[in-house]
Every structure is written in C-alpha cells, then in structure tokens.
Amino acid sequence: MADGADALLAGGRGGTATATSATPGRLRATGPLAVVAAGFVLAQLLFVPLSMGLGWDETVYVSQVTTHHPAAFFSAPRARGVSLLVAPVASWSASTELLRLYLAVLSGLGLYVALRTWRDLLPTRVLAMAGAFFATLWVTLFYGPQAMPNYWVAIGALTCVGCFLNALPGRTGRRALWGVAAGAALMALMRPTDAVWAALPLLVLAAVRRHRPLLLALAGGLAAGGAEWVIEAYAWYGGLGERLSRASEIQGGLGLHLAVADQMRSLGGRGLCRPCTGPMPHPVVTLWWLALPVAAIVGAAVAVRARRAAATVLPFACAVTAAVPYLFLIGYAAPRFLLPAYALLAVPVAVALGRLAGAGRGRWRPAVATLVALVLAGHLAVQFAVLAGTAGRTTDSRRDWARVAAELHRLGVRPPCLLTGHESIPIGYYTGCSSGSTGGNNENTTAAEIVATARRIPVADVTGPGGTPPRFARDWKPYRVTGLEIRVAPAG
C-alpha cells in the first residue's frame, strides 16, 4: 500500500494516470473546484450586504471611472487596476448593489481559474480543500465583493505560482508561460510593489536555474502590469524613485516595524488599524492565525517526505515574501494586506489537513475524523461570526456618510460642489462633490483655491469630533450633523 504522503500528493502529470481527456475525467478534476467557487459567491451574497455602501478607498477607485461623481485625489501608492476592474459596471451605473453583485461573481470566477491552474500539480481533493479554506476566511469573504486590490493580488499570485510550476521542464511548458505572465501582470496592475514581493522567490528560482523563458514571462508580466504606474510616476511625481518615496511617506515611512501584533489586533474585524491600539481580540478569534504557519510547515514537510516538495514549498516561500512588508516594514495593519499570503498558504495547509484526515488507522479513524470535523466547524463558526459583525458595523458607518450627504443636499450643497476637511473624500463621493485637502496624504489644493472656488460653486468644510475648523472656514455658517460640524460657505 502506498505511503500516506505519497497517496495524498499523487496525481496529475508525473503522478498517477488521469482521465482528463474524457469529459467525466474533466468533471472529476474541475467539478469540486467549481462547487467551491460557487459556494464562495453564494456566501458573499448571503453575508456581505449588497447595500453596503462604498468605503473610503473604494470611492477613490470607483470615482476614477464613473461619470456620476468627480474623480477623487489618487495618491502615490494606488494603482489603476481596481478602477479598470470595476469600469464595466461603474462607468454606466451608480448602483452599489449591482457593483457588489458583479464583483462577487467575478471573484468566484477568479478563484476557480486560479485553482484550475493547479489541477495537474495536486489532487482535486487537495485543491478543493485549499480553495475552501481560503474562501471561508472572513477577510476573503468580506473583501471579495469590494472594489479593493488585495484579493486580486492573491488570485494573481496563486495563478502565477501554479503556472510557474507547470512551466518547469517536464511539464506543460509554453502554454503555462502565458499563465505566469498573466498572473504577474494581474498582481502588478493591482499593486506593483506587492507583486514584486510575491514574485521574488519565483524570480530567484528562474534566475538560479537559468530558465530564460520563465524569467522573461515573469519580468514581462510584471512590466506589463506595472507600466501604467511607472509612466504616471514620471508624468506626475518626477520619476519612479520620487513616487516610491512619496508612497513610503504616505504609508508612515517604510522601515523596520514589527506589525505582527497589529495584524493580530485587526483580526477582530478592524478594517484599518492605524494607529493600532487597544486590546487583542479573544484568543478564539486569533487561534487560526497562529496555527496557520504551523499547518503550512507541516504540509510542506509532508510534501518533502513524499519527494514532491515544489508544489508546496514554492507557494509557502512566496507567501512568506508577500507577508514580509506587512508584518515587518510598516507601522500599521489591515487584515486585507495579507490576503495574498493566505491564498498561497492555503496550498500547504490543505496538504496538511488531508494528511491529518487520513492519519487515523483502524479503530482510531472515526475519532480522528470527528476531531477534524469539530475543529473545522469551530473555525467556520468563528470566521462567520467575525464576518457578520464586521459587515454590520461597516454598513452602519457608511450609512452615516449617506446621512451627512443628504443633509448637505438639504443645506444647498449639491453638484457641482466641493468638500474639504474630515473624511471629505468619501463624504464628497456620497454627496457628488469634489474633495479638496490642504495637507496630509491627500493634499491637492490650497486655502486660497478653496476660497476662490466658493465664489463659483457651493463649498463646505467638515470638522470631525474634537477638531477645529480651518481658518478660511471659521466665518462660514456652522451646522451639526451626526456628531460632525459642517460649515457652508456663503453663496457667491
């Protein structure tokens, strides 16, 4: 009888014989992956309200392509990938519900395609477990239907690594090179710097093995996806170095920062932990996060023992490099930052879970199976509890922006108009106004320009709780709205 690890990892090209040339074989190989992807879409639609308003970053990305709102200031770290992704809907419809539905379905399709690239590397049951693990994390479900880049970097990374392995000598070869390039381009289109970190082990391996086609596919994909970002750097920032420097400044200055504890604090459902203070979530909430690297190492060890290390060790290495900047180089945290690492770690974790599930022998098998089922049930209960709480709080907070926008309309601040001050970017989007800032990360105007604009169109300043209005707005008429002070410039 075959060794457990060998049996677990056998399959695909170079493993046991497959019947992928026949339709039943194709269904066996891809049917479970389609079920996982469909379940992912359904879970998003059930647990993340379609009516959940757009968040701060979403309003920036969406406003670049919609005709219904002025384009918000686009800061140095951002890339245009998300704007291109939402353009098929946002360019002609202002419906948040339609946009959420479109992104939920698209995210499920993306997961399915990414998993399919691995079908010749690992058995279908292992891939289905990997997809199910990643798809049931609360952070994956929460950000799948949102206009944010991190999920798509994760999909690009999973695709790129799978195709890279398939392009190694003795496998599918040239066809997979296009997948490598496409995955790298998708990552770079969404977040160029993240793409380089995630692809670093692949670049090193291709260079060490002197695999010129793979190196060209990786470099070409990264260059194609990041070209627009680089061109903008020279057009607007004075060069690539200047844009990278400005992006680092906006992110608090990249350097040695231990953000592991910050990431743990964000696991309770904090979308942005900056500054990251306060107590840690309940240990039950963070247990999966602490167990994740352990399970991934176990999965890699199982693969090494079975002499099939590449399909687990390489995604593990890419996950580590993808996580490094967000664990050790920035001074704040957001759970979505680690989505690419989670997607890549899902592969060795699934190998470990499969090994654990098959570890029982004889009379111990029912006990082991029951233990695994209980652990997975508890994990799912925690993930969906955090998801429900996070989605509820987020929906409520974005309704506050809508209420402020409605009050601004009542006060006569209607498009074309300009908002400045506290949360002027998202409130401006909800109001239909442009947004302006005289300082900080989104600085794009001056006090003199704001005063001059007020002579032509309605202008209002928003002051947050405990804040003071800027000097140019102190003589404007004040109003109180949902804990905010709004000062409206006199007409004309």
pLDDT confidence of residue 274: 86
pLDDT confidence of residue 115: 98
pLDDT confidence of residue 358: 65
Extract long-range pairs of 304-307: CB within 8 Å, 24+ residues apart: 305/5, 306/3, 306/5, 306/6, 306/8, 306/9
pLDDT band of 373, cuts 50, 70, 90: confident
Instruction: Evaluate whether 55 touches 271 at the Cβ level (below 8 Å).
Output: yes
330 pLDDT above the threshold of 80: yes
173 pLDDT above the threshold of 90: no
Nearest CA among 392, 390, 145, 393 for reference residue 269: 390
What average pLDDT does range 450-462 have in this prediction? 97
> Residue 274: what residue type?
R
214 pLDDT above the threshold of 70: yes
> Residue 61: what residue type?
Y
pLDDT confidence of residue 370: 81
pLDDT confidence of residue 21: 46
Rounded CA-CA distance 161/179 in Å is 9
pLDDT confidence of residue 404: 96
pLDDT digits (tens, 9 = 90+) for 388-406: 999 999 999 999 999 999 9
pLDDT band of 180, cuts 50, 70, 90: very high
363 pLDDT above the threshold of 70: no
201 pLDDT above the threshold of 60: yes
Rounded CA-CA distance 241/56 in Å is 27
Pull the structure tokens for residue 216: 């060209």
pLDDT band of 360, cuts 50, 70, 90: low
Domain locations along the chain: 4-359, 394-488
Rounded CA-CA distance 157/152 in Å is 8
Length of the chain: 492
Pull the structure tokens for residue 340: 């690419």
Rounded CA-CA distance 353/372 in Å is 8
Largest CA distance in the chain: 87
Pull the structure tokens for residue 159: 């695709």
Mean of per-residue pLDDT scores for the chain: 91
What average pLDDT does range 11-32 have in this prediction? 56
Rounded CA-CA distance 180/222 in Å is 10
Rounded CA-CA distance 300/201 in Å is 16
What average pLDDT does range 167-188 have in this prediction? 88
% pLDDT > 70, the chain: 92
9 pLDDT above the threshold of 80: no
pLDDT band of 361, cuts 50, 70, 90: low
pLDDT band of 13, cuts 50, 70, 90: very low
pLDDT digits (tens, 9 = 90+) for 222-248: 999 999 999 999 999 999 999 999 999
pLDDT band of 4, cuts 50, 70, 90: very low
The torsion of the CA quartet 77, 80, 83, 85, rounded to 10 degrees, works out to -120
pLDDT band of 24, cuts 50, 70, 90: low
Phi and psi at 79, nearest 5°, equal: -125, 165
Rounded CA-CA distance 315/344 in Å is 5
pLDDT band of 81, cuts 50, 70, 90: very high
Instruction: Evaluate whether 184 touches 221 at the Cβ level (below 8 Å).
Output: yes
Coil, helix or strand at residue 70: coil
β-sheet bridge partners, residue 436: 420
- Better-predicted residue by pLDDT, 415 or 307: 415
pLDDT band of 306, cuts 50, 70, 90: confident
First to last CA, the chain: 87
pLDDT confidence of residue 136: 97
Rounded CA-CA distance 469/475 in Å is 10
What average pLDDT does range 271-290 have in this prediction? 91
- With b for 16 or more beta-carbon neighbours within 10 A and e for fewer, the 62-77 pattern comes to bbbbbeebbebbbbbb
Query: Residue 321: CB partners within 8 Å, gap ≥ 6?
Result: 197, 198, 200, 201
pLDDT confidence of residue 7: 46
CB atoms within 10 A of CB 252: 15
Q: At how many degrees (to 10) do helices 365-410 and 339-357 cross?
A: 160
- Better-predicted residue by pLDDT, 298 or 27: 298
**Torsion-angle region of residue 112: left (phi > 0), alpha (psi -120 to 50) or beta?**
alpha
Phi and psi at 438, nearest 5°, equal: -95, 5
pLDDT band of 491, cuts 50, 70, 90: confident
> Residue 33: what residue type?
L
pLDDT digits (tens, 9 = 90+) for 332-357: 999 999 999 999 999 999 999 888 77
DSSP label at 362? G
